[in-house]
Amino acid sequence: MERLNYEVGDIVKLKKPHPCGSREWEILRIGADFRLKCEGCGHQIMVPRSLVEKNTRELRKKT
């Protein structure tokens, strides 16, 4: 499987929706953990890199 190139500012679409209904998250920080911001409600979370890579369905590059 091709490894995606994540960058700060990109939008990732994940497998499961956030409780607010949005599946899209903006990447704010990259490292062993990712800091993601929900595009629907603005909630921020820290998620291990492995979970983000496993659950990514789509990656939209920043414009």
Laid out side by side, the sheet with 44-48 consists of 44-48, 33-38, 24-29, 11-14, 56-60
Q: Give the confidence band of 63 by pLDDT, cuts at 50, 70, 90.
A: low
Show the domains of the chain with their CATH numbers.
11-60 (2.30.30)
- How confident is the model over 13-49, as pLDDT tens digits? 999 999 999 999 999 999 999 999 999 999 999 999 9
* pLDDT at 19 (0 to 100): 94
Tell me: pLDDT of 62 over 90.
no
Element (H, E) at 33: strand 33-38
